[in-house]
A and B are shown apart, each in its own frame.
Chain A
Amino acid sequence: MAVRRTDSIISFVIIISIWELTVKFFHVSPFKFPGPGEVGVALYEMGASGELIDHVVASLFRVTWGYYLAVLVAVPFGLLLGSWAGARKVFNPLIQFLRPISPLAWIPVALIWFGIGDRPAIFLIFLSSFFPMVVFTMSGVQGVRRTYLRVADNFGLTGIKRYLKVILPASMPEIVVGLRITLGTAWLVIVAAEMIAVKSGLGYLIVDARNALRMDRVIAGMIVIGIIGLCLDWLIRQLENIPYVQWSRRRR
């Protein structure tokens, strides 16, 4: 069923109206909860001064590095673990042990190892993306239909060819789900990481605005984070339209 673009806007219109009415009706102080108008002005000011775009770029830079590094290491590692039971038995307990440790708990470690700057933030993003990505890839590989593996055996596809022609594409649908969820997590974590280690980025913008008692800027920052999250999700969803991935949705 086709969803019209206007449909998805309705919920935003409703929530902004309720927000505006609540603030007006209860005479809430703008230091506690500014209305949409004030937040809009703050957004415009930050946008016009170029400050906002600097923060966005800083955050995206860190997310991109941490996420790509994680995907680059996690996908091959997951492919290996998924297809090699011996390695899985050795490494899986360790992965399952490290995975539930929140990346935020790593913040002190990251600061001590990498000091101040981009590197601890990138490290945290890497951690937050790496473990889920390994697990998604691994379970994708384990779920590959036996028939496909037998076709590979039958036609003598071995070694790297077996991975590229059969195992990787067969587990691609689950890997793409993993990429999507992991990117969401990475974006969640970057804001938290920037609240501590750095002097730029959307996380820093929010903490800095709070220290200056500028709630309008805090909320403006939150809105920008949400919008970029939406855009990232849309972007990564485009992967699902590649034939290499699409087959699973179209089958039967």
Chain B
Amino acid sequence: MNKVEVRNLTKSYVERRMKARSPDSCNFHEKCEVLAGIDFTVEAGSFTCFLGPSGCGKSTLLQIIAGFDRPDKGRVIIDGKEVSSPSSRHIFVFQEDGLLPWLTARQNVALGTRHIKDPEERTSLEQDYIEMVGLKGFEDHYPHELSGGMRRRAEVARALITNPDILYMDEPFGALDFVTRLQMREEMLNVHSMFDSTILFITHDIDEALQLGDQIIVMSERPSHVKADIKLDHPHPRDLAKGELATLRKEIYFLMGLHAAL
């Protein structure tokens, strides 16, 4: 099925920012190694969360896996085939707004139904998904007329309506307020149980990763490698305050260099 294998992936880029973003970032015009030999396997149908300090190349990694960018060395293999370009079976939910702002919510969702020939079937499917994500009554609104949470929902609906083999999500809820974030988190669990899609999910929120993931990949600072590859088979809903998960949570905090936060 949709097993994702990443083999010894390396990526460098030339720093184009004049001002350094952080003390350890690269100088202007210097070649900068972001990913240094990333290696992991994601099982078909699993929910994998990527954790790591900001600027460690999580986004770059996901862009490469999705086929938007090319690695310098190494390979991304999905179902035994090497990835060379984006696929409409593997949908990306973007960190910033990925909705096309000149299209209404429905028209955006309809980007995902273009493969369906029958117009009636298409319309009813669109309506189903719009209702599923709670956007009934907002079909004809433009993205700027929707709240942050609704925009994320519309984008998730656009992705799910294609019944994708893989769903890539790059900090999709990063810009939402706390409560909306928790709601979206719960909804992602529903999505995971309802759909067979393999989900690759970037977050900087350790608790989010622990709540959602079947697998958590912790990345190091740049040049980044896989620091920990953790499998979780705890049932949902998960209580992070006690037992094995509480210990794991502590370990991940330590791995990410947060010694005093707990």
Contacts and interface: CB of A to CB of B under 8 A. Distances in A.
10 contacts: A147-B97, A150-B94, A150-B98, A151-B98, A154-B88, A154-B91, A154-B92, A169-B102, A244-B102, A248-B101
Interface in B12-50: none
Interface in B129-149: 142-145
A252 B68 CA distance: 26
B187 interface: no
Nearest to B107: A165
Contacts of A154: 66, 86-88, 90-92
Given A150-B68, A153-B85, A154-B88, A247 B96 contact: no
Interface in A194-252: 243-245, 247-248, 250-252
Interface string B104-116: 0000000110100
Q: Interface extent on B, as a size class?
A: 20 to 34
Interface in A144-197: 147-148, 150-151, 153-157, 165-166, 169-170, 172
B144 A247 contact: yes
Nearest to A168: B102
Secondary structure call for the A interface = helix
A148 B100 contact: yes
A157 B88 CA distance: 9
A247 B86 contact: no
Contacts of B88: 154-156
Contacts of A153: 68, 85-86
Given A154-B66, A169-B102, A243-B102, 7 more contacts: A150-B68, A150-B94, A151-B100, A154-B91, A169-B100, A170-B102, A247-B142
Interface in A91-129: none
Contacts of A243: 102, 142
A79 to B, nearest CB: 16
Q: Which of B68, B85, B102, B144 has the most CB of A within 10 A?
A: B102
Contact of B102 (A150, A156, A157, A247): A247
Contacts of B102: 169-170, 172, 243-245, 247
A14 B112 CA distance: 59
Contact of B144 (A156, A172, A245, A250): A250
B250 to A, nearest CB: 36
A43 B90 CA distance: 68
Contacts of B91: 154-155
Given A153-B68, A153-B86, A154-B88, A252 B94 contact: no
